[in-house]
């Protein structure tokens, strides 16, 4: 294979479809590594990247372009593959290693990045698949070998999804206080990330899980991955029915949708001292009577992907315990536009993983 030329699927205008293109690739310098992409998951946030931003509520949109993202954009941040080229200073990986790539890069130099929290870097965002070219390609250039996590004997398609779906779920449930077998946790939105959270919670925590999703196929899948109950949030009186089924003892609610309706459902479902973690980026605005915070002793937090060390911990966890497996839907890279359309239309159960 010629590592001097990358074949990518990229969009050249915001909201436009992805087109195949070829770009030259320099030999890796310093700590840079070239990874031959064997698998790349499609994430719901790719739809926002393609659209050019997020709905911030009240008709306002965030803009990736205003924040400095340049066209064309090669998306894809759940990258798994094989190390095929290393720069002269690379010591932590070797040619042929099977790895996944941590994509949420910051400046790489500040104290926040140095402790592995690149995703929270106050100085720069250099995310692979947004600001830097991502994994909808046959090759990806990684700026430093420290962002590579060897996967050992893990199945590469599944391991690739750890880089976003996996750590987003892991990071969000890590924010919940320890709970007992009498407590319930509500998982709202059971797409790829929500389903991973159901699987991780059932593998690592004694709590009972209630899965909440309008799609019967997703509710069914959540029940088979460890949820004890599942509800359709659009059914009449859904909130009352869910609260009752959980004995009015929902200690935490993780909102993987992040819409106005899902976040207010989360806040209303949790018991006093309950925790709400908002993860999804569907968009909109959140309003709540201020006395609710005090009267319910409520905590609300957000969670955005997770750090490099979380990815390493998740890989180690997957090697140690048998995690219930979320459904994967493997498709060729060339069908990426169709796959994004299916995701936008809610026609995907689990995670689509592209294979270049």
Could you tell me if 136 and 23 are in contact, meaning their C-beta atoms sit under 8 angstroms apart?
no
Pick the closer one to Zn ion by CB: 103 or 274: 103
Restricted to residues 161-220, the positions that interact with Zn ion (CB under 5 A) are: 164
Residue whose tokens read 């009577």: 289
Restricted to residues 19-78, the positions that interact with Zn ion (CB under 5 A) are: 43, 45
Restricted to residues 253-292, the positions that interact with Zn ion (CB under 5 A) are: none
Distances, alpha carbon 137 to alpha carbons 75, 81, 245, in Å: 9, 11, 46
Per CB under 5 A, does 106 bind Zn ion?
yes
Q: Strand, helix or coil at 157?
A: helix
Given candidates 47, 61, 107, 238, which one binds Zn ion under the rule CB under 5 A?
Answer: 107
Q: Least CB distance from residue 113 to Zn ion, whole Å?
A: 3
Pick the closer one to Zn ion by CB: 123 or 240: 123
Count of residues interacting with Zn ion (CB under 5 A): 9
- Provide the pairing of β-strand 184-188 with 250-255: parallel
Please identify the residue of the shown chain whose CB is closest to the bound Zn ion: 43
Torsion of Cα atoms, 126 then 131 then 137 then 143, to 10°? -30
Restricted to residues 82-101, the positions that interact with Zn ion (CB under 5 A) are: none
Pick the closer one to Zn ion by CB: 120 or 238: 120
Restricted to residues 152-171, the positions that interact with Zn ion (CB under 5 A) are: 164
Residue in 207, 171, 203, 197 with CA at minimum distance from that of residue 351 = 197
Rounded CA separation 237/159 (Å): 39
Pick the closer one to Zn ion by CB: 45 or 263: 45
Q: Least CB distance from residue 327 to Zn ion, whole Å?
A: 17
Residues linked to residue 253 through DSSP beta bridges, in sequence order = 186, 276
Rounded CA separation 242/229 (Å): 9
Q: Least CB distance from residue 107 to Zn ion, whole Å?
A: 4
Per CB under 5 A, does 110 bind Zn ion?
yes
Peptide bond into 72 cis (omega under 30): yes
Given candidates 42, 75, 93, 121, which one binds Zn ion under the rule CB under 5 A?
Answer: 121
Could you tell me if 146 and 308 are in contact, meaning their C-beta atoms sit under 8 angstroms apart?
yes
Pick the closer one to Zn ion by CB: 122 or 206: 122
- Site residues (vs Zn ion, CB under 5 A): 43, 45, 106-107, 110, 113, 121, 123, 164
């Amino acid at each position: 294979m010629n590592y001097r030329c990358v074949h990518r699927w990229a969009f050249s205008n915001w909201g436009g479809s992805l087109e195949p293109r070829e770009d030259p690739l320099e030999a890796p310098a310093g700590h840079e590594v070239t990874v031959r992409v064997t698998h790349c998951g499609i994430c719901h946030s790719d739809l926002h990247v393609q659209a050019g931003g997020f709905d911030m509520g009240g008709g306002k949109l965030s803009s990736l372009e205003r924040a400095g993202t340049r066209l064309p954009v090669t998306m894809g941040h759940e990258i798994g593959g094989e190390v095929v080229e290393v720069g002269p200073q690379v010591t932590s990986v070797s040619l042929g290693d099977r790895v996944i790539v941590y994509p949420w890069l910051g400046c790489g130099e500040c104290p926040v990045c140095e402790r592995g929290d690149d995703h929270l870097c106050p100085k720069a965002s250099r995310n692979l698949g947004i600001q830097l070219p991502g994994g909808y390609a046959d090759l990806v250039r990684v700026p430093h070998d420290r962002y590579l996590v060897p996967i050992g004997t893990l199945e590469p398609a599944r391991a690739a999804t750890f880089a976003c779906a996996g750590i987003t779920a892991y990071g969000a449930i890590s924010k919940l206080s320890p709970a007992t077998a009498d407590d319930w946790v509500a998982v709202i939105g059971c797409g790829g990330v929500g389903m991973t959270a159901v699987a991780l919670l059932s593998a690592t925590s004694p709590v009972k899980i209630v899965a909440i999703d309008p799609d019967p196929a997703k509710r069914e899948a959540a029940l088979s991955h460890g949820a004890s109950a599942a509800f359709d949030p659009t059914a009449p009186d859904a909130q009352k029915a869910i609260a009752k089924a959980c004995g009015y003892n929902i200690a935490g609610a993780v909102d993987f949708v992040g819409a106005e309706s899902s976040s207010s459902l989360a806040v209303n479902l949790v018991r006093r001292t309950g925790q709400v973690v908002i993860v999804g980026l569907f968009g909109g605005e959140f309003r709540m009577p201020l006395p609710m915070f005090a009267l319910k002793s409520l905590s609300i937090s957000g969670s955005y992907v997770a750090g490099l060390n979380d990815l390493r911990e998740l890989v180690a966890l997957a090697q140690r315990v048998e995690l219930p497996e979320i459904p994967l839907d493997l498709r060729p890279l060339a069908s990426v536009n169709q796959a994004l359309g299916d995701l936008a239309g809610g026609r995907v159960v689990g995670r689509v993983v592209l294979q270049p």
